[in-house]
Copies of this chain bind each other. A is one copy, B any other.
């Protein structure tokens, strides 16, 4: 088999009620909000509009049933933002879930297609 150039790809995400709650992209947004202390800055870092990022957060919170981010004095546009304790917990859990998963899939693929 000329499979030396074949590669495995994968995508994982969380759903609730048939709707996407989070995948690597949304988790990355949350991580950046926590680091930057601002939705605006976090969104800018990944080339996303503030409006888009805000919409993502609303959907994640609604679909997941978790309050993830609190915005601070200054309003939605001007003030800072940080993760709630539940938001941090969600990140920790997602990170534990993702840890080593790509490597496992890659290894399983290589074993089958070696």
Which A residues contact B (CB, under 8 angstroms)? 1-3, 5-17, 21, 64-66, 86, 89-90, 93-94, 96-97, 101, 104-105, 108-109, 111-113
Q: Given A1-B89, A86-B1 in contact, is the A14-B10 Cβ separation under 8 Å? A: no
Rounded to whole angstroms, the CA-CA distance of A62 and B54 in the bound complex is 43
Within the assembled complex, what's the spacing in Å between the Cα atoms of A53 and B12? 27
Q: 21 pairs across A/B with beta carbons < 8 Å?
A: A2-B65, A2-B66, A3-B65, A3-B93, A6-B14, A6-B64, A7-B15, A7-B16, A8-B14, A9-B12, A9-B14, A9-B15, A10-B10, A10-B11, A10-B12, A14-B109, A93-B112, A96-B111, A97-B111, A97-B113, A101-B108
Asked if A5 and B16 make an inter-chain contact with CB atoms under 8 angstroms apart, the answer reads yes
